[in-house]
Structure 1
Amino acid sequence: MPEAEVMSEPAVVSPPGTGKPLSVTALRKTYGGVTAVDEVSMEIAAGEFVTFLGASGSGKTTTLMMIAGFCEPDSGSIVVGGRDVTRLAPQKRGLGFVFQQYLLFPHLSVWENVAFPLQLRGVPKAELRRRVGETLEMAGLSGMARRRPRELSGGQQQRVALCRALVYRPPVILMDEPLGALDKKLRDQLQTEIKRIQRELGLTVIYVTHDQEEALVLSDRIAVMRDGLVDQFDTPQELFERPRTPFVADFLGAANFLPGQVEERTAEHCLVRLDTGGLLRARPQSPPRGARVQAAVQPGRLELCPPAEGFCTGTVETVTYVGTLVRVTVRLLDGTPGDVVRLELPAGRAPAVAERVGLTAQAADISVFEAEGGG
């Protein structure tokens, strides 16, 4: 049996917003004294698409494997549908799993691969035929039911693996970088298909990826992980527009960081005197007056303006065309050597290399973080 197949009794999927959540409480896992996952807790509602996002070694896959039952936690608990499954074997948890590797039976047809989980559960033949047919049709694979895996493209094989995980309607589907081996165009197509199927069936999905764009496209909420911890668990919009830590701002938005000191803080704004000398207005933030801070702004939220009107000035160093966008780097004139700020602008507004420019941004698009150690 392929490793992706997790046996259980058939389960009915609840529509979004109903049913009991999947709860993870204080999960911890160490390997040889190294903490891979450190006190991770979260609740995931039925019908929600949640992504664990992080770089290699962040703990995202280990957390997923503990939920699946392939890795036993040192401490903590996992509750699915009101049932504690922390110490249950994988096949007794009733969860579906889709890996990056397709793990299909090479000697079986598409139909037979998808039908296999139902056969294991003794589903009556008429019901089996109906459910396999519906699942294949939903994934656009009805015309390929008799083909063997070797006769399919990588994207088609991954859709078969997804169908096999969906066909017995598990309460939760776990996906470990399922699109990692595909090219960008195919990844984009399958992201759309996965999201469509998830919404149509009201599936609860926990997805692992290191790809920020993929996480933003697919997810209702994203857990940004680092060093075994969850830095922020929030909606894509909140993570992108209101990051709570410098790491989230940098990892998700590739933010520029401008050092300075809080000059004024009111209920309406936070004024930061940058080390370059300019005065920057940000949305209301928590650092007190006089605190050393880093002002973070994403490349796509920066604008060019006349030098005298910006919160800092510089010289355009590079302009790179990327389709409808241009990526611009500006070397700050009044900063320390090596200070470069990155912008993303519409292609029609590209500046000239060596042009002197000012930089500005809306206060609502600027986050302010207190500098570590106060400076």
Structure 2
Amino acid sequence: MPELDVKAPVITPAPDTGTGKPVSVTALRKTYGAVTAVDEVSMEIAAGEFVTFLGASGSGKTTTLMMIAGFCEPDSGSIVVGGRDVTRLAPQKRGLGFVFQQYLLFPHMSVWENVAFPLQLRGVPKAELRRRVGETLDMAGLSAMSRRRPRELSGGQQQRVALCRALVYRPPVILMDEPLGALDKKLRDQLQTEIKRLQQELGLTVVYVTHDQEEALVLSDRIAVMRDGRIDQFDTPRELFERPRTPFVADFLGAANFLDGHLEERTDDHSLVRLDTGGLLKARPQADRGAGRVRAAVQPGRIGLCPAGDGFCTGTVETVTYVGTLVRVTVRPPGGTDPVRLELPAGRAPALGERVGLTAEPADVSVFSDPENGG
């Protein structure tokens, strides 16, 4: 294999690196003048866990990641990795791996040299360096391309090289800032599978940033949904999708339908909502027992069709859009309210203009107080 000829200071690795370590973030806060970018964010990430920060632009997800990495110093709060307080340490002293959206490969180096570079900086002996580079390239399916330059690789291959460069020294935590954002959907899907496989095989802790809901659901053990510098909900993908705790999470994760009405009955088993359209909708128990105005939320894929006059609502089919294995349908309820969106199997599409009833299982319906309307 080629030898590297790069003059650079040797980086001393953090103690006991090489396997996934837990990460503890406590009351992190970061302001820029009058703008609060991150506001008292706290979380516990287990060793070997894949956690994603998910949110729109400006939600605080990247700033939180940069504080963990050491590229951005918090105003207050603490960051502990594997029991070691790294809050005020320089990035190179934290022993963490980082994968950016931009590949940042050295154009004059081969794939092998790019991946070997972090080990050379750490003073790893040559025999060990060759072994670890070879193993890492094998895992990523890049051994046959080891002598190529970055310009000879596709975008997906370049991102795999960047991932290998972060993995090769077996850091306890890998931080990834939208690493697949510049790729097309097919390549993103392929690399999602590879990233998850490598993370599980090596037992690494991964903290990942994305604004792509599907990507977060596919990759993550848990997701922190962020908004305005805070965490709205930190939970498993299933809990976030099926049991959102706020209307924002319900809408952001699944583009939920929101149906307004009054809470007519509340028991330990269910909530009963009298919708503004006149129908009754049975839902999971409301989190609080307050009466008044409420908003019911149900995902498009959890609403079914039934005969007109049945279900919680009857309306007219306005649109039917074929998107491969399913159809997207909108149904207009009476009274000029917003249309209800459905996702149905492709063979079960209703006809345009047809009168249909809508139904949903209570376990699929969340109910939230509506403070803007007296709830």
Q: Deviations over 1:136-177 (max 9, x none)?
A: 000000000000000000000000000000000111000000
Indicate if the aligned counterparts of 2:19 and 2:171 stay in contact, CA closer than 8 A.
no
SS of structure 1 residue aligned to 2:44:
strand
Residue 299 (str. 1) matches residue 300 (str. 2):
yes
- Give the Cα–Cα distance (whole angstroms) in 1 for the partners of residues 221 and 32 of structure 2: 31
Percent identical pairs in the alignment equals 85
- Give the Cα–Cα distance (whole angstroms) in 2 for the partners of residues 58 and 121 of structure 1: 35
Task: Kindly state the Cα deviation for residue 8 of structure 1 after the two structures are TM-superposed.
Answer: 4.8
Q: Deviations over 1:39-59 (max 9, x none)?
A: 000010110000000000000
Task: Kindly state the Cα deviation for residue 283 of structure 1 after the two structures are TM-superposed.
Answer: 1.4
- Give the Cα–Cα distance (whole angstroms) in 1 for the partners of residues 287 and 109 of structure 2: 60
- Give the Cα–Cα distance (whole angstroms) in 2 for the partners of residues 266 and 329 of structure 1: 32
Against the structure 1 CA distance between its residues 269 and 133, is the aligned structure 2 distance closer, same or farther, given a 3 Å change threshold?
same
Q: Which amino acid aligns with 2:243?
A: R
Against the structure 1 CA distance between its residues 158 and 300, is the aligned structure 2 distance closer, same or farther, given a 3 Å change threshold?
same
Indicate if the aligned counterparts of 2:301 and 2:344 stay in contact, CA closer than 8 A.
yes
SS of structure 1 residue aligned to 2:182:
coil
Q: Which amino acid aligns with 1:319?
A: V
Against the structure 1 CA distance between its residues 221 and 161, is the aligned structure 2 distance closer, same or farther, given a 3 Å change threshold?
same
Residue number in structure 2 paired with 1:225? 226
Alignment map for 1:303-342 (pairs within 5 Å): 303-333=304-334, 335=335, 337-342=336-341
2:13 to 9, 12, 36: 9
Residue number in structure 2 paired with 1:109? 110
Indicate if the aligned counterparts of 1:96 and 1:170 stay in contact, CA closer than 8 A.
yes
Indicate if the aligned counterparts of 1:262 and 1:287 stay in contact, CA closer than 8 A.
no
Indicate if the aligned counterparts of 1:99 and 1:176 stay in contact, CA closer than 8 A.
yes
Alignment map for 1:77-92 (pairs within 5 Å): 77-92=78-93
Indicate if the aligned counterparts of 1:224 and 1:231 stay in contact, CA closer than 8 A.
yes
Residue 367 (str. 1) matches residue 371 (str. 2):
no
Residue number in structure 2 paired with 1:198? 199
Q: Which amino acid aligns with 2:229?
A: G
Residue number in structure 1 paired with 2:280? 279
Residue 58 (str. 1) matches residue 59 (str. 2):
yes
SS of structure 1 residue aligned to 2:322:
strand
Residue number in structure 2 paired with 1:356? 355
- Give the Cα–Cα distance (whole angstroms) in 1 for the partners of residues 290 and 76 of structure 2: 42
Indicate if the aligned counterparts of 1:326 and 1:346 stay in contact, CA closer than 8 A.
yes
- Give the Cα–Cα distance (whole angstroms) in 2 for the partners of residues 8 and 34 of structure 1: 36
Alignment map for 1:18-167 (pairs within 5 Å): 21-167=22-168
Task: Kindly state the Cα deviation for residue 310 of structure 1 after the two structures are TM-superposed.
Answer: 1.4
Residue number in structure 2 paired with 1:3? none
Q: Deviations over 1:83-136 (max 9, x none)?
A: 111111111111100000000100000000000011111111111000000000
Task: Kindly state the Cα deviation for residue 359 of structure 1 after the two structures are TM-superposed.
Answer: 0.7
- Give the Cα–Cα distance (whole angstroms) in 2 for the partners of residues 308 and 151 of structure 1: 63
Give TM-score scaled by structure 1 length: 0.95
Task: Kindly state the Cα deviation for residue 13 of structure 1 after the two structures are TM-superposed.
Answer: 3.5
Task: Kindly state the Cα deviation for residue 312 of structure 1 after the two structures are TM-superposed.
Answer: 0.9
Indicate if the aligned counterparts of 2:19 and 2:170 stay in contact, CA closer than 8 A.
no
Aligned length: 364
Residue 345 (str. 1) matches residue 344 (str. 2):
yes
Task: Kindly state the Cα deviation for residue 227 of structure 1 after the two structures are TM-superposed.
Answer: 0.4
Q: Which moved more, 1:260-269 or 1:234-243?
A: 260-269
SS of structure 2 residue aligned to 1:309:
coil
CA RMSD of aligned residues (A): 1.3
- Give the Cα–Cα distance (whole angstroms) in 2 for the partners of residues 34 and 114 of structure 1: 39
**Long gaps (5+) in structure 1:** 1-5
Q: Which amino acid aligns with 1:286?
A: A
Q: Which amino acid aligns with 1:199?
A: Q
Q: Deviations over 1:205-227 (max 9, x none)?
A: 00000000000000000000000
Q: Which amino acid aligns with 1:14?
A: T
- Give the Cα–Cα distance (whole angstroms) in 1 for the partners of residues 168 and 241 of structure 2: 35
Runs of 4+ in 1 over 3 A off after TM superposition: 10-15
Residue number in structure 1 paired with 2:174? 173
Residue number in structure 2 paired with 1:189? 190
Indicate if the aligned counterparts of 1:263 and 1:289 stay in contact, CA closer than 8 A.
no
Residue number in structure 1 paired with 2:216? 215
- Give the Cα–Cα distance (whole angstroms) in 2 for the partners of residues 344 and 197 of structure 1: 33
**Long gaps (5+) in structure 2:** 1-9
